[in-house]
Amino acid sequence: MKPGPRNLITDVAGLLVGNAQDAGLLSGVTVLTAEHPFTAAVHVMGGAPGTRETDLLAPDKLVEKVDALVLSGGSAFGLDAASGVSDGLRAMGRGFEVGGMRVPIVPAAIVFDLLNGGAKDWTDNPYRALGRAALDAAGADFALGSAGAGLGAMTGTWKGGLGSASAVLQNGLTVGALVVVNALGSATVGNGPEFWAAPWELGFEFGGRGAARDYPAAEPPPAKRLGEATTIAIVATDAALTKAQAQRMATAAHDGMARALVPSHTPLDGDLVFAAATGLRPLADPVGDSFALCHAASVCLARAIARGVHAARPQPGDRQPCWFTRFG
């Protein structure tokens, strides 16, 4: 596999991503949408998730396609970002038709960033407006690192951030990943510069440091407390997938999270992966292509996680150092 031209999830044709953030709040929102409704699914591995409208993504539920997926900071307050996105989509005439009414379908997930040093003493929830602003900003190009929902993200070692990566497969299909890295675990081996995801790096997309030669005998204890961590992601493809096939891709992508963050999927976080499929390219070989998509999704997610930490930059009020400041 090789990266797409942008090495972003928007290398999947038709997908758009928008960021909005508040520097004082030290938090933000990232929205993935598309030119047309798309198939979506989800798989949750963490023990403390925060979500909206994820039940309807199950293969046996009525709605087949969604209009957007939202990744937000703000813990439970951040779920209101999806309301702002829904408002914007309704104004565009988008949504599931019910008796002449349009109801945008906007599943969402959040990370806990309430203790990251930003001002959280708001009177009115700011996330609805941030959601609308992120939708309005949606395009093919977007910032990584300290942007959108990754603005105030942290990990067990370094400042976290927003990451993305893509891959074009030999069968012609494209896969991409988008992730907010706010992990209980660490993206690097010990306190060194080498990323756990190093074996899957393509080129020098997160520094080209290679794999660590020595592994610590024991990883340090978690730097966060109960409920303070979560890594949320989207993996996407231009393949035509059913909801069940998309759910399988989301499930497989968790392997990439476990490769890139140590530890992952603990009882103290809400790690989850959405899957999105635009349906532009039919599967020529349903078994072989599905196998390739699942593997590529896990690799893309591992790379995206490392890129999110690699791209993070210092912000006023930060409580963690940036990888870039130390090793960049």
Q: How many CA atoms lie within 13 A of 204 on its CB side?
A: 4
Q: Is this prediction's pTM over 0.75?
A: yes
Q: How many CA atoms lie within 13 A of 240 on its CB side?
A: 7
What region, left, alpha or beta, does residue 253 occupy, with left being phi > 0 and alpha being psi -120 to 50 degrees?
alpha
**Model confidence over 69-95: pLDDT tens digits?**
999 999 999 999 999 999 999 999 999
**pLDDT of the residue at 222:** 62
Q: Cα separations (Å) of 79 from 110, 164, 223, 288, 320?
A: 6, 22, 25, 37, 25
Write the Ramachandran bin of 162: left for phi over 0, alpha for psi from -120 to 50, otherwise beta: beta
In the chain, the domains with their CATH numbers are 2-322 (3.60.70.12)
Beta-bridge partners for 239: 281
- Which amino acid type is present at position 304? A
Contact 143, 151 (CB under 8 A): no
C-alpha span between 150 and 318 (Å, rounded)? 13
Tell me what the mean pLDDT of segment 43-68 comes to: 94
Give the number of other CB atoms < 10 A from CB of residue 26.
24
For the cut 70, the answer to whether the pLDDT of residue 260 exceeds it is yes
pLDDT 10s digits, 265-312: 888 888 999 999 999 999 999 999 999 999 999 999 999 999 999 999
Chain segment 232-247, per-residue pLDDT in tens: 999 999 999 999 999 9
